[in-house]
Structure formats: C-alpha cells, structure tokens
Amino acid sequence: MEPAIKLKPGVTKWDFRQKVWDYMEEKNLANFPRPVHHRIPNFKARKTLLVPTPRLKRGLFNKIVPPPGASKEILRMCSTAQGVRDFSVPVGLDAEVRVDLVVVGSVAVSEKGWRIGKGEGFADLEYSMMVSMGAVDENTVVVTTVHDCQLLDIPEELMDNHDLTVDYILTPSQVIKTDCKHLKPQGIIWSKVDSEMMEKIPILKNLQFREKKAGKDVTLKDERLTEGKDLQKLSDKRMGGNATKIKSNPIEITRNSEASEEQTESDCKTQLNAPSRVTAVYIGNIPHSMRVSELKSILRGHNAVPLHLNWQGAQHRAFLDYKDEVTAEEAVTSLAGLSISGSTIRVELAKSQRGNRSRSQTTEKAGKQPLA
C-alpha cells in the first residue's frame, strides 16, 4: 500500500511527527482531543483499550472495577481518566501481574516495526518498568493502532536501544505483522534516567530501590556525569601528588597504598557499626474525613508500622518516622499506589529539610502519635 505521507531522506523524528500531525489535522482524521499536535492521535477503531496510570504519576497499573449494576454511562466513564480515578484500584509492584498483550500509541510507525511516539518517552518507559517487575518478557506481543496515513518508512538509524518496537500494526484497513528482530527494552536503562524524571515519576524510586537491593547498577544519568568529574579530579590530584615519589621511592608508595587500604577498611567498619539514622516518609493527599486511627490500621495492614506518626490531618498529610532509610524505602514500596476513599495517596521519602522542620512543628502542635 502506497504511504499517504511522503518524506525526503535525512529527516528527523520531529519531521515525521510534524508531517503526521499536519496531515491528520488537514484531513480531519482525528477524534477528540484536538488539535492533534503533540498528542498520540485518537481515532475510532472499534477497539477496547486498557491504559496505564496517566503520565505514571500515581503508579504503573490501575485495575478498573465498575460498581455493581453500572449503567452504560458509568461504564463509558470508566474508560476515561476520571473513571480511572473514581473506579479503580492500584496494582502494587509485588502483584504477580502477567501482561499478554501491550497496546501502545504511535505518531508514526513503519512496517518493519520501528515506532515513533510523541517524544516524551512514556511508552518506552512503561514497557521497561513492566520488564523490571516481571510483567512482560520477550514473548509478550506489542501492537499499535494507527491510521493508514501514519504508516511510513522510518530509518533504523533514528532508533535507540530504549525505543520500543511493535510486533503488529492495526489500521482501519489492514493488520501488519512486522517480524521485527530488534530487541525490545530489557528493563529500565538507569543511565538514561535523570533526577528530574525521578521526581516526576515517583514509582521509579521504588523500582530503583528494588533493583539496587538486587545488586543492579542504578546510577542515574546526572549522577554518572558528577561521578565522572569527581573521579577525574581525584585522578589528577593523585597523579600530581605522587609523580615525584614514583621516581625516587616506589616502595614508599606501595606502603602508603597498603596503609590507605587498611584505613579504608577501618572506616567501613566504623560506618557499619554507627547508629542508624531515623528517616521520615511523607504521606500526602489524605482525605479530609480520614482519622489518624484509620491510618494506623492501614499501616499495620501493609507491614509499614513506623516508630512515630506525626499527624497533620488539617493539612491532609502525615509524617512517618522509621529507624533507617532501608526500612523507610520498604514502607514506601509497600504503600505505593495506596488509594483511600477514591483518593490516591502520595507516599515518598520526606525531603530532609521539610522532614526535620515539619516533625519539629508537628511535635509542638499535635504531639507524637503512638501506634499502640
């Protein structure tokens, strides 16, 4: 089938996006929301789709549970973002979820399976996160639904190792099997994730903590840059300080190195024997009607009982003190995706400045809340 949109060789991903968006607007092919620019085009294909949590702000998966006897209008609402908020329950990272089919949106796609999204990387990241939690593997089928005009020849050199490819393409007129041999993402590539992305997508912190415990390298992009600069400075400093000694007394350098290793070992033992530091967890978006006793009960049910609970119900928040950072991270993971009375609760490690100040203010105003 002849492509509806033709592009010249040497164009960029952005050229593909712009051409498709312009064409679909010109031909009035897209449904609400309009204009289609900077969006995954939406058009009727008579398919029912399940979507992940929008922009990954409140977890990865939500399972929609319509109320008993729901009307057609309620069922229709369940497929919207409002429906996800009102009629869904979160699926935790520890749930044994098996995804058999992934349906992903595209701005442009080639018959070879190369896919271009809207440029924010959420689809690629969602798939990588599902790999990390064991929900998908190399046998999971990935399909995309597009209009026929979105079928284009995309050069392979535009694709990166984090880009998600597709196995099938569904259009209003045909189904295409791509036979793409390119490996799909094998998990989260932490070297491509930066601190800003970690703040925008809280669930990434939980996945990073889990993979770090499993012994994986989870160093972020900006952390790698900082470490590289620090190592270079240290190397330059050592070379500058030892250059004269290498020529005059190499044995002395060897002894200094041994002493340094012994000192490092001693320092490590001191750190391991040092007392643990209390770490605070921030709980936000607490419903106005909720009482502290209810929160305590929920914490017990999730095996996330803190040393102390600092309650700030009027501000819809609370702070939980745990004995150390590891215990606090485990609590955050356990409470991830928590929903109470239709409200998704925000759970994250408290920022040190906010944690210290808020705990002090809360103790003065409300006092420590015992968990007994």
CB atoms within 10 A of CB 103: 17
Q: Provide the H-helix boundaries in the chain.
A: 13-26, 72-78, 81-86, 122-132, 195-200, 203-213, 221-248, 250-273, 292-301, 325-335, 352-365
Domain definitions of the chain by residue range = 13-191, 279-365
What integer pLDDT is reported at residue 108 of this predicted model? 95
What integer pLDDT is reported at residue 167 of this predicted model? 95
**CA-wise closest residue to 182 among 197, 196, 162:** 162
What integer pLDDT is reported at residue 138 of this predicted model? 83
Mode of pairing for the β-strands spanning 88-91 and 61-64: antiparallel
Pairwise CA distance, residues 112 & 152, whole Å: 10
**CA-wise closest residue to 315 among 372, 367, 358:** 358
CATH of 279-365, one of 3.40.50.460, 2.30.130.10, 3.30.70.330, 3.40.190.10: 3.30.70.330
What integer pLDDT is reported at residue 361 of this predicted model? 42
Pairwise CA distance, residues 108 & 120, whole Å: 14
Q: Do residues 90 and 343 lie in contact, with contact meaning Cβ atoms separated by under 8 Å?
A: no
Q: Do residues 335 and 90 lie in contact, with contact meaning Cβ atoms separated by under 8 Å?
A: no
Q: State the amino acid at position 19 in one-letter form.
A: K
Q: Do residues 160 and 117 lie in contact, with contact meaning Cβ atoms separated by under 8 Å?
A: no
* N-to-C CA span, the chain: 70
What integer pLDDT is reported at residue 229 of this predicted model? 67
The model's pTM is 0.52
Pseudo-torsion of CA 352, 355, 356, 359, nearest 10°?
Answer: -170
Quickly tell me which residue has 């070297």 as its tokens: 191
**Ordered per-residue pLDDT tens for the chain, 372 residues:** 678 898 888 889 999 999 999 999 999 988 888 999 999 888 777 543 445 665 666 657 777 778 888 888 888 888 787 887 788 777 766 667 788 889 889 999 999 999 999 887 788 888 888 888 888 888 899 999 999 999 999 998 888 888 899 999 999 999 999 988 888 888 888 888 888 888 888 778 888 888 888 888 888 888 877 766 666 666 666 666 554 443 433 333 333 334 444 443 444 344 444 445 788 999 998 888 888 888 888 898 888 899 999 998 888 899 999 988 888 888 888 888 787 776 788 898 887 534 444 444 443 334 445 454
What integer pLDDT is reported at residue 230 of this predicted model? 65
Pairwise CA distance, residues 346 & 318, whole Å: 10
323 in helix, strand or coil? coil
Write the DSSP string, 7-63.
--TT--HHHHHHHHHHHHHHTT---SSSS-TTS------S------SGGGTT-SEEE
Can you read off the two tokens belonging to residue 110? 């080639």
- Please list the helix, strand and coil fractions of the chain in percent, rounded to the nearest 5, in that order: 40, 15, 45
Q: State the amino acid at position 137 in one-letter form.
A: D
| Helices vs strands, H then E, count in the chain | 11, 14
Q: Provide the H-helix boundaries in 98-161.
A: 122-132
CATH of 13-191, one of 1.10.287, 3.30.110, 3.40.50, 1.10.3470: 3.40.50
What integer pLDDT is reported at residue 353 of this predicted model? 32
